[in-house]
Amino acid sequence: MQDLDLLLTSIPKMNPYDRSLVERAYHKARLKHDGIKRLSGEPYFTHCVAVAKILADMKLDAEAIAAALMHDLIEDTDVTRSEIAVEFNETIASLVESVTKLEKLPIPIADNPSDKRKRDVDRENEYLRKMFMAMGDDIRVVLIKLADRLHNMQTLDSMPPEKQISKSRETLELYAPLANRLGIWEIKWRLEDLAFRYLEKDSYKAIARCLDERRAERDQYIEQVIQKVQQALNQHGLSNVNIKGRSKHIYSIYSKMKRKHIPFEEVYDVQALRIIVDTLPQCYLALGIIHNMWRPVPGEFDDYIASPKDNFYQSLHTAVIDDSGRHLEVQIRTWDMHEHAEYGIAAHWRYKEGAGRDDAFDNRVAFIRRLLEFGQEDDNQDSTNFMEALRTEVFEDRVYVFTPQGDIVDLPKGATPIDFAYHIHTEVGNRCRGAKVNGKLVTLSYELKNGDKVKIETNKYGGPKLDWLNSGTGFVKTQRARSKIRYWFRKQNRDKNLAEGRNVVVHELKRLGLSDTYTFESVAALFDFADTQDFFVAVGSGNVDGAHIAARLLDSEKTTNSDEGNSERQANAHRKPDETPLEYTGSIQVEDSSGYPVNIAKCCNPVVGDPIIGYITRGRGVSVHRADCVNILALNEQHRFVTVSWGHVNRLNTVYVPIEIIAFDRDGLLRDISTAIAKERINLTDVKVSLQQDIATFNLMMQLQDLKQLPRVLGLIEGISSVVDARRITM
């Protein structure tokens, strides 16, 4: 019962009712988990107590700690939600239910291992979605889950290696960034180091060894620095000051080494100084004293007090060069800032429970709800898309831009003027037709940067462009904007969506050179649509975009080619000894060729992966065409056709694809096109340009590593100002 006493003494302002809640939750969880063991062999109840203790250390209230003690009861025992609500209260029952994993989901069960893995992933994603949505109503839901994940990571040694890897990756990609966004530094760095320990064992051990080897030297150095700083602060009347050395945690060191491509020896801020004072003015006074003692490093000062981070973190950060020439990082903050930096939103909880109103807490809760808005805007969004959006939008780095009135707008890194427009108002986004950044016109795919001042140009009528949803064009980054665009298209007339969708499908088939290979019915079937009109409507409403169509078509081409190759190999294995075997010519197999030379036809330029057919010419051997080449289809000399296939293709080989670009001529057009292609690491082996009445036509030969690069580079080119069309040439 010693662990119960520790919990009770950890809860601030304990009253008889709070004590009763925790004691009853403790005894109920202990009884229901009796006899259940963890993989390590320890009683399972030790995990429940550990999770509750983490929350107690964060100064959370009795309800949260009681819920933490019982957080696995609904999932692992016969206890029901209603039972908890009756014995305790509705709030605790809701908290326990919100962190309970889902047991039943509408996912087909299959014996195939890959299907089982997908089912497990879908179940986990759906559980996380449920938990995050509940977080908008009660932030304690996610605090309990973070504590649960922290203790699970601390005891991960007993899990199988594959579980160690998957849990660590999920922790690093999801839970540590979540703790960071909530401002809970103490949990963030612990989760990062624990996950890094399993994902990069050698790197983890190497950095840990370097830290241990120099610990004594660093401790001696930092002690001398603390004494010198303390003396200087005292001389200026700052006597009630706490100064501590702060070691950079292992994953942070690794990230800096990787980001800057430097060895451990060049990470100068492994050891830093943290100064905690009583008042805000004392922060700036202490900063002046430090800068007067040692020379500041240019560009290394950040005032997060005047401009807090998006997770409400406040502190002064500076770096100086001391008398011995060493770099020293210094953080300066008040005690209140320090508590909020370590425990984030959890530090506000006790104020919420008090009589007074805590505006900071309300602001943080409103901030969390805004982050999760995108999860409620798109009814058709499944759990996998929700989690992907959470990773890419909520947890990525942010940029801060200004409205024309000077208000700050917080967006994920890579956001565009369209994302900005939808952040301001839905109608501003729907009617967006142009943008000015810092007074200059920019493209709608322009990536906003910190400090940009953005003005949106709108029309009185109209709506968003369907092409904005195409991931290859880079027009939209945020899920918020994407959801609002899809919603707009869903509200439009079905006939209009049908026409728009048909145009998109025609465009993708045309630019990939597959118009004669696929029918509308076959494209719809690739997406499991039996009715082509329903498929067109889905495309027209934005549920299926051009990039998805292009990727699915290329995958289908690859599968078809692979199946044909397997059939030929099987037929070859059953040949009689007197039959003519397949002969290799380069990478192409020609059946019954009798040694004819093989040439790639210039009229349709087939590339690896295209369906092909051979034609025996007069005097030039076998000419290899695309199967849908109009020149071949026009011939009636069937006796000259031979069966050919790509054979065993070395995937490292490049393929050459001719494309045609039509655009309105302007200065710098060829440069912009070349830059877009170069960014994709694609070589141009031939460039021809013709100009007629201000219309420029470019014929380019691109050297691709894989046909899957084609849709993306065509999308990038079509996103260039004044470009009308970009497509693959098959004739």
Catalytic residue among 3, 23, 57, 76: 76
Residue corresponding to tokens 């082996």: 685
Listed in sequence order, the residues at least 6 apart from 253 whose beta carbon sits closer than 8 Å to its beta carbon are: 207, 211, 264, 267, 270
Is 111 assigned a catalytic role?
A: no
Sign of the CA dihedral running 506, 508, 511, 517: negative
Where does 103-160 have alpha helices with state H?
113-135, 140-154
Q: Kindly report the number of other CB atoms within 10 A of residue 12's CB atom.
A: 12
β-strand pairing of 644-645 with 622-626? unpaired
β-strand pairing of 622-626 with 598-600? parallel
The H or E element that residue 638 is part of is none
Nearest to 244 by CA among 269, 221, 272: 272
Residue corresponding to tokens 């903050």: 333
Is 495 assigned a catalytic role?
A: no
Measured between alpha carbons, how far is 165 from 62 in angstroms, rounded to an integer?
Answer: 34
- Lookup: tokens for 728: 């693959």
Angle, vertex CA 393, rays to CA 391 and CA 396, nearest 5: 75
Can you tell me whether residue 703 is helix, strand or coil?
Answer: strand
Catalytic residue among 3, 23, 57, 75: 75
Interhelix angle 16-32/62-69, rounded to 10 degrees, is: 10
CA distance readout (Å), 617 to 95, 598, 622, 634: 77, 10, 6, 15
β-strand pairing of 644-645 with 683-692? unpaired
Radius of gyration of the chain (CA): 32
Listed in sequence order, the residues at least 6 apart from 2 whose beta carbon sits closer than 8 Å to its beta carbon are: none
Where does 236-371 have alpha helices with state H?
250-260, 280-293, 335-343, 349-353, 359-371
Which residues have a catalytic role annotated?
75-76
